[in-house]
Amino acid sequence: MENLLLWSFYILTFYAFLPGIISRTFGFRVFKKGVAKREIALTFDDGPDPVYTRQLLDLLAEYKAKATFFVVGANAERHPELLQRMHQEGHTIGIHNYVHKSNWLMRPKTVRKQIHRTAAVIRKATGLHPIYYRPPWGIVNLFDFSNLGYLQIILWSSMFNDWRKRVGVGRLTKRMLRKLRPGEVLLLHDCGSTLGADADAPQNMLAALRIYLQEGDKRGFRFVTIKEMIAATDKAREAKGPSVFQRMLVALWLGWEKLFHLLFRLQAVDGGEAIFYYRVRPYKGPTLQLANGLTVRPSDPVIELHFDNSRLLDIMRRSRSIVQVALLVIREVEQALPKLGAHLAGRPEYRDIRALYGISMINRGSEAFGFKVIDLPGGLFSRLTGVYLKLLLRILHPSGRRRLNGKSDSLAPKIIAMGIDEFRSRYEPGARGSGGASSIDPAVSSRTDAKIKSSARYENEKAARGMTP
């Protein structure tokens, strides 16, 4: 019995208690407070309610305020017309499980089912693919961090016990007005049907919210969706620049890269003016099947490509999103491959090379250059590689971890490889596409600048659209 209790304590600690403490204290994998000049985010949980949600939408429309609704799937299924109205009036809709039950009390598979079912209800009513999630009571379990990579977990900076009627309008109003300041993410409730709530408590919330909105209007604040708050926060942090700690991490990382280049004898292309370095080594990995029937087996000599992280850092500092990073990398690679072709041309020491290969998280679009993109086999090496590359991007990217978390599932490390004959036919001097001309589809090159200028449209929900259940 004692052992059973001890193991129960260990499981609860690591499955439930520690993830909750880490997310609330350090903001790990969650958004809970913004950095803004005039913006305040109003969020409402547990609805929709056929009476109070309608009144709330009327009140928000009266003050031209926008909000985020984290809906319980069972309630939303009964009132799809309220979801449609939220969407039509410019509000954001997030997931609050299908039933209001703590993630601590459910297995990871059950949590996923709750989320998928609620997402399906929202999609059916609005056509939207929800990408924001608030677990009931803000409680996450260990597997939420890894299993919900396509969703942004949203917590809050202020809550007021507004689900209890005994708090009263006067006391609730005073509590809320103390939090009338930019960057706040307020948690309120538009439904009183959940366990522990009073059925008519939303009446008090609506009365206090009216006073809060009136005072906010007088002071010039804007009430925005969580999407707008995240965007304002990213913009403020980018303008501020990297922290001292982040600059120290970058300096240490780039110092380590120089040491790595020396230890493993990486060679520069075009005097270090290209985006990657390379080295010749025996291939170590699974057998690769490339174009034209070429097979690359373990121990075959290959050219291993490595991104120049100092150059990648410069690209990331000039970019507004990870999508724009990828587009700028495409431009750099387009210019670098003919330089590598010229560097290798006619040199007998490269005569027996079978292929070029590398592992990268920025791999989309590589096929246009002649590379084949191949999934890394599952296992320890794949997991460690993913951790290393994500850590690298978190350190190098000036917006920090939050902008990358929204894309974590789409940034999977993959093998990119090309047979040496294919490379020479494309990029050596005199070959088609060499000599500085584009070696990829001309349409790709001609659209690159336009894509970069418009890449700000690629917000998290569009990147997540194909991954949302």
Identify the domain boundary among 238, 256, 276. Answer: 238
Residue 45 annotated to the active site: yes
Task: Identify the pLDDT of residue 469.
Answer: 33
Asked if residue 414 is part of any domain, the answer here is yes
- Whether residue 314 is found in the same domain as residue 385: yes
Provide CB contacts within 8 A for 147, sequence distance 6+: 108, 111, 112
Q: How many domains does the chain have?
A: 2
Confidence grade of residue 368 (pLDDT, cut at 50, 70, 90): confident
Confidence grade of residue 309 (pLDDT, cut at 50, 70, 90): confident
Tell me the one-letter amino acid at 412: A
What are residue 222's DSSP bridge partners?
A: 39
Q: Which of 277-291, 352-366, 419-433, 436-450 bottoms out in mean pLDDT, i.e. has the lowest?
A: 436-450
What are residue 31's DSSP bridge partners?
A: 154
- Whether residue 132 is found in the same domain as residue 168: yes
Q: Which of 114-118, 272-276, 279-283 bottoms out in mean pLDDT, i.e. has the lowest?
A: 272-276
Q: What is the mean pLDDT of residues 29-53?
A: 93
Whole-angstrom Cα distance, residue 305 to residue 283? 12
Whole-angstrom Cα distance, residue 286 to residue 281? 15
- Whether residue 188 is found in the same domain as residue 305: no
Strands 355-360 and 414-419: antiparallel
- Whether residue 298 is found in the same domain as residue 422: yes
Asked if residue 360 is part of any domain, the answer here is yes
Identify the domain boundary among 238, 262, 292. Answer: 238
- Whether residue 106 is found in the same domain as residue 194: yes
Identify the domain containing residue 398 by its residue range. Answer: 241-464
Q: Which of 40-54, 129-143, 354-368, 455-469 bottoms out in mean pLDDT, i.e. has the lowest?
A: 455-469
Confidence grade of residue 458 (pLDDT, cut at 50, 70, 90): very low
- Whether residue 157 is found in the same domain as residue 208: yes
- Whether residue 203 is found in the same domain as residue 266: no
pLDDT at 8 over 50: no
- The average confidence (pLDDT) of the chain is 80
- Whether residue 180 is found in the same domain as residue 199: yes
Torsion of CA 16, 17, 18, 23, to 10 degrees: 80
Asked if residue 469 is part of any domain, the answer here is no
Whole-angstrom Cα distance, residue 320 to residue 300? 40
Whole-angstrom Cα distance, residue 132 to residue 125? 17
List the Cα angle 387/391/393 in 5-degree steps.
120
pLDDT in tens, 291-303: 888 999 999 999 9
- Which percentage of the chain shows pLDDT scores above 70? 72
Q: What is the mean pLDDT of residues 283-312?
A: 90
Asked if residue 362 is part of any domain, the answer here is yes
Closest residue by Cα to residue 201 from 164, 167, 151, 234: 164
Asked if residue 45 is part of any domain, the answer here is yes
- pTM of the predicted model, to two decimals? 0.58
- Whether residue 28 is found in the same domain as residue 135: yes
- Whether residue 136 is found in the same domain as residue 247: no
- Active-site residue (options: 189, 306, 343, 397): 189
Query: Of 396 and 94, which is predicted with more confidence?
Result: 94
Task: Identify the pLDDT of residue 270.
Answer: 85
Confidence grade of residue 271 (pLDDT, cut at 50, 70, 90): confident
CATH number of the domain enclosing 65: 3.20.20.370
- Whether residue 149 is found in the same domain as residue 217: yes
Q: Which of 95-109, 138-152, 330-344 bottoms out in mean pLDDT, i.e. has the lowest?
A: 138-152
Asked if residue 90 is part of any domain, the answer here is yes
Residue 325 contacts residue 398 (beta carbons within 8 Å)? no
Identify the domain boundary among 181, 216, 238. Answer: 238
- Whether residue 234 is found in the same domain as residue 271: no
Through-space distance between the first and last CA atoms of the chain, rounded to whole angstroms: 41
